[in-house]
Amino acid sequence: MNRTLPLIALVIFLSLWLAASYGVRYGLMEDSQWVGLCSGQAQLWQCQVRSLLGLAIHFGVIAWSALVLAVLAQVLPGRAGWRVAVAALVIGVPALVLYTASTAVFAVVLAGLRLVRKGLVEEQ
């Protein structure tokens, strides 16, 4: 199997994940339709998701989770560290889009650095 194939698949997946994150931001969090609907009918499942996502954004749960995983990925050797770095990226990309960029940028950079670390090429 080609060594670059997993990285190309990861880049494609992260691009789609970024687009989906922007869809959640502009389609659910900032759309005036949902703001008006959820102020009157908070029992809708979409309003519950919006509320829980808002709390996670407010308390920085998404960004801090990505940062913890990115730091852990720097410490773990081999494939385990690589997989944890991928998980940090998957969590960090929505954190960048969903209003917690100041913390999430460190997680994304650390996870990206772990993914391109030279030691990974030697271990495969």
- Structural domain boundaries in the chain: 4-123
Measured CA distances, 27 to 6, 44, 50, 52, 61 (Å): 31, 16, 11, 16, 21
Tens of pLDDT, residue by residue over 73-118, are: 999 988 899 999 999 999 999 999 998 889 999 999 999 999 887 6
Residue 119 has pLDDT above 80, yes or no: no
Predicted model pTM: 0.83
Rounded CA separation 20/1 (Å): 29
CA 49 to chain centroid, in Å, comes to 17
Contact 34, 47 (CB under 8 A): yes
The pLDDT confidence band at residue 122, using thresholds 50, 70 and 90, is: very low
Whole-angstrom Cα distance, residue 29 to residue 22?
Answer: 10
d(CA 106, CA 124): 27
For residue 120, pLDDT beyond 60: no
Query: Tell me: the pLDDT tens digits for 55-84?
Result: 998 999 999 999 999 999 999 988 899 999
pLDDT digits (tens, 9 = 90+) for 4-51: 788 888 889 999 999 999 999 998 888 888 878 887 777 888 888 888
